[in-house]
Structure 1
């Protein structure tokens, strides 16, 4: 475990973010609305930015729930690792990646808690609810979503960050366009080539090496979770519920899906980490390169409109 570990980060363009949060109080900038959801990570509320009425999501985290801390340059005080990672990914600066939720603001509040303010797409639904409502997704839709997730993860890795909790609940779907955004970096960490011995992600998405040995490497862990995610999309549920099933690493396909799709899932769910593909190899897999997506079909099946 990395309880209360503090990591020094080198981040650019953070002075304005720190100064803004030091001078202005949350109540002068935002109005908090109804509770949207809660869990081990904290609670998320709807909200509104007072300056222009923009709808936002506000994540509330208690200090005693924070496992990892990071020191920002020029600051004596540490902040939750999640805030530091989001700053690395462009939070507050207007840059970033379209497939990653953008942090707009953050505040250290009296009463031992932090508030993180995120953009909130107008018409969005997490992938868990999307699948629950529609059932197993047609392969072209799953292909489109998976490609976007991988491209967003490639950006994370290029910025030295690993998410560590890729699952359907942490992927937002814009139901108008079919575009995705990865959310919740509360289990994230700095990307390294050495072994990790801590894990705060979701157990049923974790690989055999974590279940058996409480050790893993970042990239094979990510690819395993993508195999679970793809199975979830095309079959309507995750492949493994019990530790014994995860360790067996042999998914039983409950829906009729193409051999190419089965091949990619099984490759991602290889028992040995070294046998799993890289993110680049997933994108080059024959199932991923098929031009089977038809936007008219997508719109009819899932009420997703073509992107402009």
Structure 2
């Protein structure tokens, strides 16, 4: 395997891993394939995050100084007993200019977004299998007091041979507050934005996640997103495939209520007859 781009990693890091091809690149990080040099060539994902002045940090026990929020919250959700539907953080390193996260890398895998685009039509039964797994990941985050903040198909991995799903990318994650969050603090995908973020001063983690899960289910089944603009999110009509079961229609309809108080709760979503079918 070729080794390159050492400039983004510290010297101690290079001695542990062979850095392979670029998996994905975003505005705030780059993710490379990595191979552990001393552990039977175990594959990992290496996420390199340049330090920025706007980075958020959290105090966590066992550390003498605050830790990058993304790292701290991944450590929080990763404490035993962990959730198999959340990508595991193996280790993290910090130098003067960046953080490097050493992450679980299931192979072969692709994002759920790519799976939806290239796999062909997805049945309700398979969609249910996917939704049950993402829901477990979201519930686990909430049990640990963590709001992921950016649930979407691009942030879910599908392990192709087992169809096991794993939620990842905690860049937007925050500690859950009973008071909710200011709408200006929402940094998730525009297509998944709940209407209260657009029309109210505050929003709450649970209601926002139920909205995002319904958008995700719609996308899985229809292979496109239900809303194309902020105006559609606030005022548009959701057109669902008429061949879907009545239970599926009912679940999506009640999770996409524009009034967050009228949406299903996470518990009600899990207990809905479509999820139990």
Same fold (TM over 0.5): yes
Residue deviations 1:115-144, cap 9 Å, x none? 101010011111100010024411000000
Structure 1 distance, partners of 2:151, 2:180, is 19
Q: State the partner residue of 1:219.
A: 206
Structure 2, unmatched stretches of 5+, are 1-10
Unaligned runs of 5+ in 1: 1-23, 291-308
1:187 offset after TM fit, Å?
A: 0.7
Q: CA deviation at 1:174?
A: 1.1
Contact 1:72–1:84 (CA<8 Å) still a contact in 2? yes
Q: In structure 2, the residue corresponding to 1:180 is in which secondary structure?
A: strand
Find the aligned partners of 1:160 and 1:200 in 2 and give their Cα distance: 18
- 2:123 is aligned to 138
Partner of 1:81: 69
Q: Which residue does the alignment assign to 2:4?
A: none
2-side partners of 1:65 and 1:168: how far apart?
Answer: 29
Check if 1:114 corresponds to 2:102.
Answer: no
- Residue-by-residue CA offset, 1:161-217 (whole Å, 9 max, x unaligned): 111111101111111111111011111111121120111111110111101235211
Aligned counterparts of 2:124 and 2:189: Cα–Cα separation in 1: 25
Deviation at 1:25, TM superposition (A): 2.4
CA change 1:231–1:54 in 2 (3 A) is: same
**1:237 aligned partner:** 224
- Please say if 1:263 is aligned against 2:241: no
Question: Within 2, Cα distance between the matches of 1:135 and 1:69?
Answer: 42
Query: In 2, are the aligned partners of 1:260 and 1:286 still within 8 Å (CA)?
Result: yes
Instruction: Give the drift of 1:64.
Output: 1.1
Runs (4+) of structure 1 exceeding 4 A deviation are none
**2:54 is the counterpart of 1:96:** no
Q: TM-score, normalised by structure 2?
A: 0.90
Question: What residue in structure 2 maps to residue 125 of structure 1?
Answer: 110
SS in 2 for 1:25: helix
> What root-mean-square deviation, in Å, do the aligned CA atoms of Structure 1 and Structure 2 show?
1.7
**How far off its partner does 1:47 sit?**
0.5
Rate the CA distance shift 1:39–1:231 in 2: closer, same or farther, 3 A.
same
Cα distance between partner residues in 1 of 2:91 and 2:258: 41
Counterpart Cα distance in 2 of 1:268 and 1:249: 15
Q: Once structures 1 and 2 are overlaid, which stretch shifts more, 176-185 or 66-75?
A: 66-75
Shift of 1:33: 1.3
Alignment of 1:22-171 (within 5 A): 25-52=12-39, 53-64=41-52, 67-90=55-78, 95-110=81-96, 112-171=97-156
Deviation at 1:254, TM superposition (A): 4.6
Count matched residues: 264
Q: State the SS of the aligned residue for 2:74.
A: helix
